[in-house]
Amino acid sequence: MEVLRPQLIRIDGRNYRKNPVQEQTYQHEEDEEDFYQGSMECADEPCDACEVEQTPQGFRSTVRAPSLLYKHIVGRRGDTRKKIEMETKTTISIPKPGEDGEIVITGQHRNGVISARTRIDVLLDTFRRKQPFTHFLAFFLNEVEVQEGFLRFQEEVLAKCSMDHGVDSSIFQNPKKLHLTIGMLVLLSEEEIQQTCEMLQQCKEEFINDISGGKPLEVEMAGIEYMNDDPGMVDVLYAKVHMKDGSNRLQELVDRVLERFQASGLIVKEWNSVKLHATVMNTLFRKDPNAEGRYNLYTADGKYIFKERESFDGRNILKLFENFYFGSLKLNSIHISQRFTIDSFGNYASCGQIDFS
């Protein structure tokens, strides 16, 4: 990170600088998570956007946060909370681990409460970004015609290209898990899952109904493409999905959903547009059939894992199957899918959904 071009963190519609911090490595996990000992200059400027209530004793502000993140506000041996309290002349009350509730900030001076609130917001945002993705918004592509088309693709590829380096049955997607991802989510409580359901329902009422016409979107899954720039060393091969009528409605719909969730903070902004693709081959599956693409950098309990990949030679596959037709289907639902889970049909478990018709 360059000093003159620091990372910006957007919270409640306002931008804050995240200045470079010299992080240290400790023996214990809780020590690794406490970097507050560095600079917090990005939170030194009071923000009037914070809601502060005047009380007979002074001023008060509350912050709702999932209990999983409380420890990052407390810090190692309580050092983070003590430092914020000392520097802002406030008192910070945090619920006990495992208990849902509000972080309560009180103080004699309004600016002190605002400063403490802003620092806590920055810490929460920073450590939320360090959490592994837990859920994702997606269309399921598990209709019979597409699954049969995928199995036909797998059979033909293995019959014609199994002698190519790295090509074998282990790197093919599970046909029951074929899907189109709209965006990745970090949902750390039932309240956040409910918030996501409500946001999805708002999207349906405000623009999805207009774009879909209250009917399923009829699409085709046809053609293949690869993710990287060397067809001789491919890690991910995907099928393309497009509207049957040649319109841009599917792309418009998913882009607007992504934009709405990014604006709310539920999805971290990485891209301005959704790349519509259905993964059909992935070298991560070679050693782990349950791997989940480039997002599978952490285990379910948040520990980082290194995924060594053996790429495959995709040149013949791309030449022979460039326009392969997997089938047509109707997209009628957007699901909030939970990673590392399987429902009774072999797909990802869904925590909520909206239907177009």
Taking the C-alpha atoms of residue 330 and residue 181, their distance in angstroms, rounded to an integer, is: 16
CATH, residue 92: 3.30.1370.10
Q: Are 223 and 240 in contact (CB under 8 A)?
A: yes
pLDDT for 48-86, tens place per residue? 567 899 999 999 999 999 999 999 999 999 999 999 999
Establish if 221 belongs to a structural domain. Answer: yes
pLDDT at 31: 41
Domain range for 239 is 135-355
63 with 146, same domain: the answer is no
What average pLDDT does the segment 234-245 reach?
97
The residue with tokens 């189109």 is 180
pLDDT at 42: 47
302 with 224, same domain: the answer is yes
Given 130, 149, 179, the domain boundary residue is 130
261 with 143, same domain: the answer is yes
Establish if 16 belongs to a structural domain. Answer: no
Query: pTM value?
Result: 0.78
- What is the distance in angstroms between the CA of the first residue and the CA of the last residue of the chain? 48
Tokens of 247: 């319109």
103 with 230, same domain: the answer is no
Contact residues for 18 (Cβ-Cβ < 8 A; gap 6+): 6, 7, 8, 9, 42, 122, 126
CATH, residue 298: 3.90.1140.10
Give the Cβ contact number of residue 112 at 10 Å: 20
Given 78, 103, 130, the domain boundary residue is 130
The two beta strands, 135-140 and 350-355, are unpaired
pLDDT at 11: 59
Establish if 234 belongs to a structural domain. Answer: yes
Establish if 25 belongs to a structural domain. Answer: no
pLDDT band at 180 (very low <50, low <70, confident <90, very high): very high
Q: What percent of the chain has pLDDT above 70?
A: 81
Given 97, 115, 130, the domain boundary residue is 130
102 with 86, same domain: the answer is yes
Please list the residues that pair with 298 across neighbouring strands.
Answer: 304
Establish if 257 belongs to a structural domain. Answer: yes
Q: What is the 3-state secondary structure (H, E, C) of the chain?
A: CECCECEEEEECCEEEEECCCCCCCCCCHHHHCCCCCCCCHHHCCCCCCCCCEEECCEEEEEEECCHHHHHHHHCHHHHHHHHHHHHHCEEEECCCCCCCCEEEEEECCHHHHHHHHHHHHHHHHHHHHCCCCCEEEEEECCCHHHHHHHHHHHHHHHHHHCCCCCCCHHHECCHHHCEEEEEEECCCCHHHHHHHHHHHHHHHHHHHHHHHCCCCEEEEEEEEEECCCCCCCECEEEEEEEECCCCCHHHHHHHHHHHHHHHHCCCCCCCCCCCCCEEEEEHHHHCCCCCCHHHCCECCCCCECCCCCCCECCHHHHHHHCCCEEEEEEECEEEEEECCCCCCCCCCCEEEEEECC
Q: What is the CA radius of gyration of the chain?
A: 24
What's the domain count of the chain? 2
Taking the C-alpha atoms of residue 250 and residue 273, their distance in angstroms, rounded to an integer, is: 12
90 with 208, same domain: the answer is no
Higher pLDDT, 27 or 94: 94
Has residue 21 got a pLDDT over 70? no
pLDDT band at 292 (very low <50, low <70, confident <90, very high): low
Establish if 28 belongs to a structural domain. Answer: no
